[in-house]
């Protein structure tokens, strides 16, 4: 003991010595970078399978327990990826082979919901994300609920029932009640969403992004600022066609709802046949250019021929196999959710899955036997066939060349669902024989594909503005409706103050799914369609082409799908189209007959809003 004290005394009284320099960390090597991405791929394969399994269970069986379980799995993924991204920065500046460099890039932009490294905050963020999606999935409008009392289930309507009211049309007030009713489900999301933005922004900054929007825009093989300019360029190409469609539809709505719809202002959001006014297909009977010319009622034929959910999906599969692709695996038919269960809450929003990243293909839908879901089935199977063609690659490459590519595949094939094709299937009795039938058909298509474009563009603009701090929480709703009017020419049908959180009534906001992919997909699908039609040797106008049954077109598609995300998206686009630039010209070419018709119909009208 005395010896110890004397040592302490010596240490205290001795002059301070200069600390020894820490040995310099060895410079990272190319071999270390390769080993790092190999380990990350292996680790992520395990973590993502656990997480996607938990997400599947949560989405098909919503309870507090399944939400908590999914949150725990996502917490693990967030923790790993956040640290892996930080670790990856030590390899910046090394001259690496293209595959290793590509995987490091994909890792850095992989998180749509980046988490802080603080464990408590990360767990909080995972719980918030699960809670918000669960609130949406369980959302119902219950009429006449007294404060403090449980609602009468008989007076509650879910998203499908409320959507049906808007799809049917009918009285202005009935549609307004359904629209306002659905928008009650998101009021309580506001504080949770505000906190989610704070935490995810903190996580984004930890991995080198300015904010979460900056991180999202970084995932397109170009600078974030350049990507935003690119989306503006594409939208400006398309805006004149949308403006003509808006003007024509508004005129017809003003006739049906005199005094309720201005012939010069924005359109009330609840009158366009859809809870979010994002696609307007359901108002077709009202705006049909030539009444009764060519029966285009595919829904009636599907129901008359007693299609069920599985038969509708089989019809979608047959399109892909006609191109030379493999049938869906047997497990797809065993594990998918095709219809809404009667005994539990599920997320009905349609989605496609490879749960174990090993060709474990599924779709999750609450299928309705109608034309809209016939198209949706093709869209979701497009995802599954993308999965099918790249699942043997490292998991970091198991994604689309960009997220818009993934959304565009099935939609490109739906452009081949021509009247001639539908007649082959006995789903249409007649094919349009003259220009009047063609205009009717193009109007029907435009109400889905063209009407969507400004909504697709503004969704993430709202979030980019929120993430950057440009829009504060007390301006969430006001900014939402300002953007909807600016881009869509659509207005709230009633006063919507900040006590509401109307963005949350759209699935992708509480589920935190980036939305620009859908805008890009609307453009890419027409580029893909044109390229496949050229491969098939099609002669004639683009809108008359169907690649159904053409193996040459299928081979071109399959070659691009097999690339996954292994190359930058301009290279994948070039492989399909011969161009490295996204371009809206094929859309304008496809809809040329309708464009001419709309110009004539709108002559003398005061378009715009």
pLDDT at 6: 36
pLDDT confidence tier of residue 5, bands split at 50, 70 and 90:
very low
pTM of the model: 0.88
Q: pLDDT tens across 128-177, in order?
A: 999 999 999 999 999 877 666 778 778 899 999 999 999 998 899 999 99
* Residue 292 confidence (pLDDT): 83
Q: What is the mean pLDDT of residues 225-252?
A: 97
What per-residue confidence (pLDDT) applies to 7? 32
For residue 589, the model assigns a pLDDT of 97
**pLDDT of 255:** 95
Which band of pLDDT confidence, cut at 50, 70 and 90, is reported for residue 9?
Answer: very low
pLDDT attached to residue 154:
81
pLDDT tops 60 at residue 10: no
Rounded mean pLDDT of the chain?
A: 92
Other Cβ atoms less than 10 A from the Cβ of 602: the count is 18
pLDDT of residue 11: 30
Q: Given a cut of 60, is residue 340 above it in pLDDT? A: yes
Position 15 scores a pLDDT of 42
Domains of the chain, residue spans: 30-136+195-209, 298-429+525-573
CB neighbour class for 551 (10 Å; exposed up to 12, middle 13-18, buried from 19): middle
Q: What is the pLDDT of residue 8?
A: 31
Q: Please report the pLDDT score of residue 20 as a whole number.
A: 59
Arithmetic mean of pLDDT, 215-226: 96
Predicted local confidence at residue 145, as pLDDT: 72
What are the tens digits of pLDDT across the range 479-496? 999 999 999 999 999 999
- 16 — pLDDT class (breaks 50, 70, 90): very low
% of the chain exceeding 90 in pLDDT: 85
CA count, 13 A, side-chain hemisphere, 536: 23
Assess whether pLDDT exceeds 70 at residue 387: yes
Which pLDDT belongs to residue 605?
A: 93
Give me 52's structure tokens. 């996607």
Decide if pLDDT at 275 tops 80: yes
| pLDDT for the residue 147 | 65
Mean pLDDT, range 389-398, rounded to an integer: 97
Distances (CA, A) of 411 to 52, 57, 145, 328, 523: 24, 27, 41, 18, 10
Q: Which residue has the tokens 């359109």?
A: 267
**In this predicted model, what pLDDT tens digit does every residue of 367-384 receive, in sequence order?**
999 988 998 999 999 999
Q: What is the pLDDT of residue 465?
A: 98
Contact 576, 531 (CB under 8 A): yes
CB of 522 closer than 8 Å to CB of 583 = no
pLDDT of residue 19: 54
Distance from CA of residue 111 to its chain's centroid? Answer: 15
Q: How far apart are CA 82 and CA 212, in angstroms?
A: 14
CB 59 within 8 A of CB 511: no
pLDDT at 17: 52
The confidence band for 14, taking pLDDT boundaries of 50, 70 and 90, is: very low
CB 362 within 8 A of CB 332: yes
Q: What is the pLDDT of residue 431?
A: 83
Cα–Cα distances (Å) from 80 to 33, 56, 131, 583, 590, in that order, read 17, 21, 22, 38, 46
What is the CA 489 to chain-centroid distance, rounded?
22
pLDDT tens-place string over residues 562-596: 999 999 999 999 999 999 999 999 999 999 999 99
State the average pLDDT over residues 508-530: 96
Encoded tokens for 241: 């066609």
What's the number of CA atoms in the CB half-sphere (13 Å) around residue 596?
Answer: 8
């Amino acid at each position: 003991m005395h010896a110890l004290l004397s040592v302490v005394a010596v240490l205290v009284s001795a002059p301070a010595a200069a600390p020894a320099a820490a040995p310099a960390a060895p410079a990272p090597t190319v071999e270390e970078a390769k080993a790092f991405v190999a380990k990350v791929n292996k680790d992520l394969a395990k973590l993502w399978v656990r997480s996607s399994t938990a997400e599947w269970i949560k989405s098909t069986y919503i309870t507090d327990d399944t939400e908590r379980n999914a949150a725990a799995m996502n917490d693990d993924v967030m923790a790993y990826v956040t640290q892996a991204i930080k670790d990856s920065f030590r390899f910046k500046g090394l001259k690496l082979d293209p595959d290793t460099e590509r995987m490091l890039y994909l890792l850095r932009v992989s998180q749509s919901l980046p988490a802080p490294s603080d464990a408590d905050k990360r767990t909080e963020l995972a719980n918030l994300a699960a809670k918000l999606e669960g609130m949406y999935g369980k959302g119902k409008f219950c009429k006449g609920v007294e404060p403090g009392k449980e609602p009468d289930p008989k007076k509650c309507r879910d998203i499908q029932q409320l959507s049906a009211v808007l799809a049917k049309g009918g009285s202005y007030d009935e549609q307004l009640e359904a629209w306002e009713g659905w928008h009650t489900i998101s009021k309580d999301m506001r504080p949770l969403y505000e906190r989610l933005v704070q935490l995810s922004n903190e996580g984004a900054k930890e991995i080198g992004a300015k904010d979460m929007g900056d991180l999202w825009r970084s995932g397109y093989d170009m600078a974030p600022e350049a990507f935003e300019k690119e989306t503006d360029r594409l939208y400006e190409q398309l805006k004149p066609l949308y403006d003509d469609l808006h003007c024509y539809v508004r005129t017809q709505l003003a006739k049906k709802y005199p005094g309720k719809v201005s012939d010069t202002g924005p359109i009330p959001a609840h009158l366009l046949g859809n809870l979010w006014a994002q696609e307007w297909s359901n108002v077709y009977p009202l705006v049909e250019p030539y009444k009764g010319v060519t029966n285009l009622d595919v829904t009636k034929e599907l129901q008359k021929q007693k299609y069920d959910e599985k038969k509708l999906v089989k019809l979608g599969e047959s399109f892909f196999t006609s191109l030379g692709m493999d049938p869906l695996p047997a497990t797809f038919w065993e594990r998918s959710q095709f219809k809404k269960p009667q005994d539990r809450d599920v997320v009905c929003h349609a989605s496609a899955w490879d749960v174990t990243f090993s060709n474990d293909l599924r779709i999750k839908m609450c299928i309705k036997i109608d034309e809209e879901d016939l198209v949706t089935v093709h869209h979701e199977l497009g995802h599954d066939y993308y999965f099918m063609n790249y699942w043997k690659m490292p998991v970091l490459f198991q994604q689309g060349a960009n997220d818009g590519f993934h959304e565009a595949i099935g939609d490109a094939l739906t452009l081949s669902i021509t009247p001639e094709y539908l007649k082959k299937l006995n789903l249409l009795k007649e094919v349009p024989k003259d220009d009047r039938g063609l205009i009717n058909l193009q109007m029907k298509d435009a109400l889905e594909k063209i009407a969507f474009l400004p909504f697709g563009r503004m969704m993430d603009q709202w979030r980019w503005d929120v993430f950057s701090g440009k829009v504060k929480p007390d301006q969430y709703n006001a900014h939402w409706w300002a953007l909807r009017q600016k881009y869509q020419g659509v207005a709230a049908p009633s006063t919507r103050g900040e006590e509401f959180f109307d963005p949350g009534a759209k699935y992708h906001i509480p589920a935190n799914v980036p939305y620009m992919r859908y805008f890009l997909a609307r453009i890419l699908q027409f580029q893909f369609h044109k390229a496949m039609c050229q491969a098939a040797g099609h002669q004639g106008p683009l809108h008359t082409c169907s690649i159904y049954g053409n193996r040459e077109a299928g081979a071109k598609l399959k070659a691009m799908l097999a690339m996954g995300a292994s190359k930058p998206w301009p290279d994948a686009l070039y492989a399909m189209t011969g161009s490295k630039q996204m371009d809206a010209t094929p859309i304008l070419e496809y809809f040329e007959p309708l464009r001419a018709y709309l110009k004539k119909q709108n002559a003398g009208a005061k378009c715009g809003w």
